[in-house]
Amino acid sequence: MSFIKRVLSTVTGIFVFLIICFFGILLLGVLFSSESDDLVKVRSNSVLELKLDFPINDYAGKTKFVEYPFLNEDKKNGLFNIIDAINYAETDDKIKGISIDNNFINAGISQTKALRGALDKFKASGKFVVAYGDIYSQKDYYLSSVADTIYLNPVGMMEFKGLYTERLYFKDFQEKSGFKMEVVRLGKYKSAVEPFLASEMSDNNREQISVYLNSLWNEMKLDISKSRSIPVDRLNRIADSLLARNPNLAKSSNLIDKIAYHDEYLNGMKYALGIDSEKDLNLIEVADYSEYASNKLKANYNKNKIAVIFAEGDIMYADGEKGIVGHGAINRSLQKARKDDKIKAIVLRVNSPGGSALASELIWREIELTKKVKPVIVSMGDLAASGGYYIASNAHKIIAEPTTITGSIGVFGMLPNGKNLADNMGINAEQVVTNKNAVTYSFFEPLNTEQRRFIKEGILDIYDLFSKRVAEGRNLTREQVETIAQGRVWTGADAVKNGLVDELGGLDLALQYAAEAADIQEYKIKEFPVFEKNLDKMLEDLGLAKAKKTILAEELGEENYKLLKEVKRLSQKKGAQLSFPFSTEIK
């Protein structure tokens, strides 16, 4: 009897605990939802502080909590929210200038260029832009070079040396470990799988990387040259000889204006604003001001709308979530935009290295159906390569940044094989079959000639379809496509020349063309997609549970965790892949 009482008391305790948790979550939801619309109060003589040390995504994301709708999220710290905030600050009489302070920017080159363009426009209004750094990375300096005055700490550092990228090759490791990847690819430039096939970089791969790195670097130099009035040849000499590696060299090279401590930087802004040096400077963080500006911009009640659908991340045969382009979420967004009479045109913002061939084709088909009803314009971000280009090729018009990496029209298939590893460990796999080709693939057996032939046949079919989609979408012959395909990547500047892209520009230009195509002048933007979260993710976001990835990152360290994520990313890819080597990091 006492045992039953203990069981009942335990069950009752658990039930009460769950009830308390439930009402606690409800209370948190009420508290969050009761916040005022204006998260920040903007006072006169304010300065917008551009701190961008958080990951910058094109789309901050809208998240729907199925069980608890009061916890729905609609963040406003994405790239275009920040650009909207800078644009709004241009007309806000209370904002007198912008401070770019110790950024350590976490964004791509095209994203940085877009931010730089917004700052240049802000500066043209007559308001000031100043920048300070204890350390300037190359990308930090690229953004800050737009400023009227650039400060560097007296004991600070500057990186200005040109771009490079590094790739790891695993062929010898595979032979030594017994674990290898079975690879079938089409396209001599399709370098995503090259590290598993060779122990050093091929001439074709080195050629394409060199071309796009130099194209990116030339674009950065042109912008810096214009802002700092330094000839491009001089910038190359500065980079070659590292003539900006310390504050004095940076100043004598005219890359910065002042060597000063941070308090002197703040006092300089106070002086410009006519504020006493003993008083505090009213600095407003851009993340807060983005929320503020967003609420102000909501006042636009125009009945005409343009849908902006963000395809950001790896393309996967999945529903999709933040950082993953799932055909489910993207196609639902296209369908909603197509059927909504108030939405007059659609801009698809692509920032993706590609991924699943099947998912890319499914998205292509939905775009095909949509563009018969409404104009579809593509705006490309940092990456719109392989599967990213596949879905973009079907639009009425394609706009890319000069620094966008695009193309990579090629296909590969890759399967892990552990035959030698298993042999070394004394493991033997035996199969029993009913038909000759019943075993399509086994981790413990190498691909035989017939299996490889079937896989290559499928890869050829996908490559043929990919080339056909590009030819039809871009009004090119198959022969013309072949000369720019073979898995080769191009910058946006080069893609305009070879017909893969129509024009250079940002999201603003894509919206302009969308409005013209729809024959509207005034409109409101509606963003897609909306993602759903499960209970585990909700608890993680509330801090009630530590995410598995957080624990792993803490235990392994960030660099080791990145390698683990890369292995997991490759293992999740199913079917043939249209993918750019996303792990390639430009430094």
Q: Say if residue 402 is in the same domain as residue 263.
A: no
**Residue 508 shares a structural domain with residue 384:** yes
DSSP bridge partners of 48: 98, 284
Q: Would you state the pLDDT for residue 571?
A: 56
Question: Are 360 and 286 in the same domain?
Answer: no
Indicate which residue of 96, 113, 123, 190 is catalytic: 190
Q: What is the pLDDT of residues 509-539, one digit of tens each?
A: 999 999 999 999 999 999 999 887 765 555 5
> How many domains is the chain partitioned into structurally?
2
Do 266 and 140 share a structural domain? yes
- 509 assigned to some structural domain: yes
The active-site residue out of 99, 386, 393, 579 is 386
Which of 488, 516, 533 marks a domain boundary? Answer: 533
Query: Is the same domain home to 285 and 315?
Result: no
Average pLDDT, the chain: 87
**Does a structural domain hold residue 542?**
no
Is there a domain that residue 359 lies in?
yes
pLDDT averages per 10-residue partition of the chain, 587 residues: 51 54 51 50 94 91 73 85 96 97 91 97 96 96 98 97 93 89 82 89 92 95 98 98 97 98 96 92 94 82 92 95 94 97 98 96 98 98 96 97 95 87 87 88 87 89 95 96 94 96 97 98 94 64 55 61 61 64 59
Question: Per the domain annotation, does 568 fall within a domain?
Answer: no
Which residues are within 8 A (CB) of 52 and not within 5 positions of it... i.e. 6 or more apart? Answer: 82, 103, 105, 106, 107, 115, 143, 286
Predicted pLDDT at 33: 43
**Which pLDDT does position 549 carry in this prediction?**
58
What single letter denotes the amino acid at residue 254?
N
CATH label of the domain that carries residue 79: 3.90.226.10
409 and 512, same domain (yes or no):
yes
In a domain, 469, yes or no: yes
**Which parts of 253-342 are beta strand (E)?**
258-259, 283-285, 305-312, 314-316, 324-326
In this structure, are residues 586 and 383 in contact, taking their beta carbons and an 8 Å threshold? no
Residue 193, in any domain of the structure: no
Strands 489-491 and 305-312 come out as unpaired
Do 491 and 430 share a domain, yes or no?
A: yes
Give the Å distances, CA to CA, from 151 to 57, 65, 242, 493: 27, 45, 19, 32
Is 562 labeled as catalytic in the residue annotation?
no
Give per-residue pLDDT as tens, 164-190. Answer: 999 999 999 998 888 888 888 877 787
User: Considering the entire predicted model, what is its pTM?
Assistant: 0.84
Residue 38 lies in a domain: no
Maximum alpha-carbon separation in the chain: 91
The residue range of the domain holding 387 is 301-533
Gap between the Cα atoms of 191 and 407, Å rounded:
13
| Residues 343, 435 within the same domain | yes
Query: What integer pLDDT is reported at residue 548 of this predicted model?
Result: 56
| Strand-strand pairing, 343-352 and 305-312 | parallel
Q: How many angstroms separate the CA atoms of 147 and 531, rounded?
A: 37
**What DSSP string runs through 117-130?**
HHHHHHHHTT-EEE
Respond yes or no: is residue 533 known to be catalytic: no
Contact 31/267 with Cβ under 8 angstroms? no
Domain assignment present for 401: yes
Q: Are residues 455 and 345 in the same domain?
A: yes
Instruction: Mark whether 343 and 447 lie in a shared domain.
Output: yes
Q: Are residues 287 and 375 in the same domain?
A: no
Is residue 317 domain-shared with residue 427, that is, in the same domain? yes
Of 259, 279, 294, the residue at which a domain comes to its end is 294
